[in-house]
Structure 1
């Protein structure tokens, strides 16, 4: 069966925002082009684009922006940056069709990206509930922050995480937030209204929630935050997107391409 880009894209949950408010959509190519194979990744980096081309995929679905910012609105002079120009040439040489898929999975109910993280941690067998920007999980028995850190490293294959709070604190009520949702506007209501012990987030401003939990610890009310990294928190959800496409089109080659660890600790 011959499939077009439109055929593939229409099976994915769409953004529910007002017209023109979403960053989702085609970056290169057109909806009527034939699809030979699909690559899905957290980001369309030089490395992941090359891998997609090697696998024979010509439709690349990326969660994050291609040219290093969220809204895809760089000024024309910025697009003449030599790194950007070489990347555009790479995309053109491989005749890669790029589709940004960010808002749709986050606005699905439940959030596909957050639920993917829950499943990757093997916590979907526990009591949990989804809020708009977080997933609340109750562990069957309390674990220390240190034990939870080790679980995160093992399940997500992480070389390191960052944390603020008390590493010996026993936690049973946990909130998961994927991506850039570790800031105080999301975190503080989770701590105060949902009474969580621990927030596991991708990333967030270092001077907001980490400072809050450190003050809480120093006041004798232990609370903690673990930052696992933006990509690490969202890759499981994009892997779920790849599986969704695979389920709809079992004869179409569909590949999930993980990203390498960009930020390293020296």
Structure 2
């Protein structure tokens, strides 16, 4: 449809540029405003700028390899920088991996105790040889105004209609057994651990991906009084024992333990979507690292 005002505006804009002796293709007027060359530091700083009260210290959200000044050729988002993930990055010419969990087997990614270990050395050498930067985005993504990991998990489970930006969801009434089947199907998890009666009714859900600690899980059970707690993991002598005792005294309380990796992988999918929206022009791939523990 002919739009005279729009065409006149574009003509005047081009005429002004021609009057300066500079010629721009009309497409350049758009592309000039879109940054396509980003460094690792640019992307880190951009994400952190969206987090309330950030930056903060201390934090585990630091570079584990590479440097802030390297230009990004592509990004992979995932839970863990496994060797399989690193090799996928090499295949895709992606030199920036954004992970949610540690790279070197401890929360702070301390490596002094590993310096003579061949497994650590192999991994560190592979990253260095291919110039791959690894940034852990754990504290910051959890502290977005809406927790990015929790939002990603809700998306994965298809529960957006019941999500009110906190850990409590009120689902249509179902059973503990049906919840387990739904999670297995949506998350591709072959088996789940649980406590409770599979036939018990379930509507009010407390969703706590990852591992926030048994005491915090129990404190939230006491406060929210849900039908079922869904978590990533918990020490067996803490929350699982509390839930078992609750059932032994006659309460109906369910616990579903997904596993840490699967319970938070949705957060890495969230990160991919965020990057595609805020960092245009950079190829981004979500490549799940999967679970290190298998079931038989």
Tell me the TM-score normalised to structure 1 length. Answer: 0.92
Structure 1 window deviating more from structure 2 (205-214 vs 24-33): it is: 24-33
Indicate conservation of the 8 Å contact 1:41/1:257, yes or no.
yes
> Structure 2: any 5+ residue segments left out of the alignment?
1-35
Whole-angstrom CA distance in 2 between matches of 1:18 and 1:246 = 22
> Structure 1: any 5+ residue segments left out of the alignment?
none
Structure 1 window deviating more from structure 2 (240-249 vs 18-27): it is: 18-27
Structure 1 window deviating more from structure 2 (201-210 vs 8-17): it is: 8-17
How far residue 220 of structure 1 moved from its aligned partner, in angstroms, is 0.8
Within the alignment, does 1:9 sit opposite 2:44 as a pair? Answer: yes
Provide closer, same or farther for how the CA distance between residues 19 and 191 of structure 1 changes in structure 2, counting only shifts above 3 A: closer
Output one character per residue of 1:14-60: Cα deviation in whole Å (capped at 9) or x when no partner.
67578541011212222111111111110101111111111110011
Secondary structure of residue in 2 paired with 1:128: coil
- Equivalence for 1:163: 194
CA RMSD for the aligned pairs?
A: 1.7
Secondary structure of residue in 2 paired with 1:30: coil
Within 5 Å, which residues of 2 pair with 1:51-130?
Answer: 51-74=88-111, 76-126=112-162, 128-130=164-166
Output one character per residue of 1:89-135: Cα deviation in whole Å (capped at 9) or x when no partner.
111122111111111011222211111111111111125341xxxx1
Within the alignment, does 1:139 sit opposite 2:171 as a pair? Answer: yes
Indicate conservation of the 8 Å contact 2:146/2:165, yes or no.
no
Whole-angstrom CA distance in 2 between matches of 1:19 and 1:237 = 21
Indicate conservation of the 8 Å contact 2:62/2:135, yes or no.
yes
- Equivalence for 2:225: 195
Larger-gyration structure (1/2): 2
Whole-angstrom CA distance in 2 between matches of 1:237 and 1:20 = 22
Q: How many residues align?
A: 259
